[in-house]
Amino acid sequence: MATDGARRLTGAMRTVLVAFLVLAGLAFILLYLRSGHTDREFAWTIRPEITAAFLGAGYGAGCVLVAASLRRRPWSELRVGIGIVLVFTAMILIMTLLHLDRFHFGAANGGLARFAAWVFLAVYVFTPTVGTWLYVREQRLAGPQPVVGPSLSGWLKVAIAVQGGLMVCFGAALYVAPSQVAPAWPWTLTVLTAQAVGSWLVPIGLGNLAVMREGNLRRARVPALTSVAYGLLQLGAIARYPDQVQWHEVGAWVWLAVLITAIVTGGCVVWATTRTSAAGT
């Protein structure tokens, strides 16, 4: 029986993903676990702490995505997830170049913060450029990708599409017009952090829309695992800093609903793919 795009990742792409996994894990520690120390340990100072935790949650979910991608899965099941990484890194690179004055490149910020700033810049120059070239190469080597396996159910498609559409639209607005849109976010954002938040929302939302468009249950597994991890980690960030959330604003409850939806839809996809794998379909 033919498999769905059975060719695996090349060694070059795996190497880039391993490097990104290590760096994303480090960013998760610095931002999620040590949210209050970005002035001394990260590439730029992030306030309030819930914003650092928000960004750290994204890196934590990114670790799940990359770790799942590094397993011996077909390229057809990985291309959406790797595409998410590339869109994110490209948006972060542009954001960084627009706000170089906010980064800890100067000696006054201390050795660790200065080192983090330069490493941050190097990573986000390298990954979207070299990574995009490797992505195109992987896609060309894979050739046609026949769709094999069960389809997503109708209600899952709708839920994923609504969630993805909201994240893309609001994330893009935050990125393009941060000063105007940031007040609608559940907590205080600067221009820089608004664009950083948008840099996470847009690729995750695009990933959802790509999953909905393909409609294949097997190909949705890696993005679904990432969605569950992202939702849980973001809820953890809110639980750690509830006093920094503007609960009187509608945006706080919309964001909470989006996170719960991400966990539910992602969990349903993971459960369904596990069940079909166990059944041998």
pLDDT truncated to tens, each residue of the chain (281 aa)?
Answer: 334 445 678 888 889 889 989 999 999 999 999 999 999 999 999 999 999 999 999 999 999 999 988 876 778 778 888 999 999 999 999 999 999 999 999 856 568 899 999 999 999 999 999 999 999 998 888 776 666 668 888 888 999 999 999 999 999 999 999 999 999 999 999 999 999 999 999 999 999 998 888 888 888 888 899 999 999 999 999 999 999 999 999 999 999 999 999 999 999 999 988 887 665 55
CB 116, CB 43: distance < 8 Å? yes
DSSP state of 243: G
Q: Which residue has the tokens 């702490």?
A: 49
Inter-residue contact 156 to 271 (CB < 8 Å): no
Interatomic CA distance for residues 119 and 221, integer angstroms: 32
pTM exceeds 0.85? yes
C-alpha dist (Å) from residue 263 to 189, 229, 231, 254: 25, 8, 6, 14
